[in-house]
Structures are given as structure tokens and as C-alpha cells.
Structure 1
Amino acid sequence: MKKTLSLLLFVSSAALADDAAVLQCRALPDAASRLACYDAMPLGATAATPAAATAVAASPRMPSPAAPPAIAGFGSETVKKKVDDLPKSMDSTVVGDFEGWGPNTRIRLANGQVWRVIDDSSAVLPRRSNTKVRIERNLFGTLFLSVEGTNSSAKVRRVE
């Protein structure tokens, strides 16, 4: 019983050391240096090496690209952000004639964005030209495309 208890204490202290290294990397402001810090952490080690994380933090920062307008980048986020910090919705029109969608349908909008239906929903609509659509983010951050004048919506993901 004492051996089991001492083994558990040893393993938990190693986990706490790894947590400290992760927290140190997480505190870095620049994404590139943060990634390099995570990459520098030894896997399976019992103690983190703060010197490696500090050396990465001291490396020169890479210039960050200019931030695009909120609508231009809508739906193309690859980094998880707080849902409250992101736009709630976007309105646009579908390029050309639009008769509805099915699974994996790609929908090109007038603003140049291309969205793909990622659920099994389908809708057949009367043929329209320049159909107004709205892409909305729900409480959990999932994006849904809805067509003006209908109750139909599809779960979508931006592909271009």
C-alpha cells in the first residue's frame, strides 16, 4: 500500500511539473514563440525545462500579418477564440441562380466566400437569382446558413 501511495505521489508531481511548463508556454504572447515553446517541451520527462521555454520566449518575434476586416475573415478562423469575440452573423447573396442544397454542396457568395454544407440537411427551393442568405453563429460557435424567406438552414463550414 505504501509503495502504491508513493508511486502516485511521484506521478502526480511529474504531472504538476509538466503543467508548469505548459502554463509558461501558454503565457507567451506570440503564436510562433508559443508553438516553439510547446515543441521544445520534452515528452515523457518528469520535470519541465523552464530554460528551453525562456530561450524560446527571448527569440525575436515574427511580424504578425495585418488583421483583415471582421467580415472578410468570417468563418475562416483556425484558432479557437472566445465565441463572444467573434461576429455573430454575416449577410450576403448567393452568386447566380440558387435552387437549394444537399450534403456537401458548395455555395459561393457575392463577397467571394465559399461555404460547404457539412450536415445531412437538404432543401429544394424555387429557383431564385441573387438569393439573400445569412450565416449565423450559434451559442457554441457552430455556423448555420439560412435563406431569406424560408425556415430551412444548413450547418456550414467556410472552405474559401
Structure 2
Amino acid sequence: MKQALSLLLLLPLSALADDAAVLKCRALPDAASRLACYDAMPVGAARVAASPAAATAVAPAAAPAVAATPEQSFGLRPAVQKKEVQAETIHSTVAGKIDGWSVGSRISLANGQVWRVVDGDAVLPVLTNPKAQVSRGLLGAYFLQIVGHNSTARVTRVQ
């Protein structure tokens, strides 16, 4: 309570000091020196932050470090994914055999990601652990392609 009262008493004094500084700068005849005077005036928020009552404030905690790499967060929904960490394409291999896909198929990659096909179908020769590429499309779409084949499926990340 005492700190709040002393802060309220100091606040009008700082406003008067600011007014005096403005009047002093306004009286200068040269435009360049007047501008330099205005620039040299302390900002009101900085003056309040320098008061003893504000010095007892607790500093905010440091933000946690981002643990996920861009490849691990690729394809996650924006609510889960950090904005500053976005890859455009990832490369991996399909875990196991694949002979094609249709709508609803789930494709597991060697990096642990699981993708569900939402549009497109393809028939491929039976391939074991083929290289795959998942790339970002327009409007939040993702496309999976087996390297060396023309077929592309629109996918969403399940896991």
C-alpha cells in the first residue's frame, strides 16, 4: 500500500518534469538543436520503470527452448507447431513395402511420421523401403511422392 501511495505521489512530479523539458526544448530557436533536445528527453514509461517501486517487480521467466526440429514438426497443425519453425519439404523412406495407395491409406515413414491419404490413388510396383518426399502445398496441403515415380497423393499427418 505504501509503495502504491509513493508511486502515485511520484507520478505527477515526473509529468511536471516532462512538461518542463518540453518547454525548454520548445524555447530553442534552431530546428536541429530543438530536435536533438526532444530526442534526448527520457520517455515517460522509462522514467516510471526506473522508480523504486518498479524495481521490485519480478523479471518474466525465460521462454522454453524449442525442442522439436523442423523435420519433427513438419505437417503438424498450426496450434501445435511453432510459427518460426517450418520446413518446406522432408525426405525419408517408407517403412516396409508399398504397392500404391488409395483414399484412407496410412503411410508410415522411417522417421516415425504417419500420413493418411485424403486425395489421390496410385498403383506402383511393389517397393521395399522406397525414398519418399513430403512437400508443403498451397493453403496448408501436403503432398507425398515416392521418389522416381510420378504419382502424388494429398496427405494429412496423423502422427
Task: Give TM-score, length-normalised by structure 1.
Answer: 0.54
Match of 1:123 in 2: 122
Q: C-alpha separation between the residues in 2 aligned to 1:150 and 1:67?
A: 34
Match of 2:153 in 1: 154
Amino acid at match of 1:117: V
Structure 2 unaligned segments of length 5 or more: list them: 1-59
1:103-125 superposed Cα distances (whole Å, 9 cap, x missing partner): 0100000001100001x411010
1:99 to partner: Cα distance: 0.5
1:20-74 superposed Cα distances (whole Å, 9 cap, x missing partner): xxxxxxxxxxxxxxxxxxxxxxxxxxxxxxxxxxxxxxxx879757431111111
Q: Relative to structure 1, is the Cα distance of residues 83 and 136 closer, same or farther in structure 2, using a 3 angstrom cutoff?
A: farther
Structure 1 unaligned segments of length 5 or more: list them: 1-59
Amino acid at match of 2:146: V
Match of 2:109 in 1: 109
Q: C-alpha separation between the residues in 1 aligned to 2:62 and 2:83?
A: 27
Whether the aligned pair in 2 keeps the contact of 1:83 and 1:140 (CA below 8 Å) is no
Larger of the two Rg values belongs to structure: 2
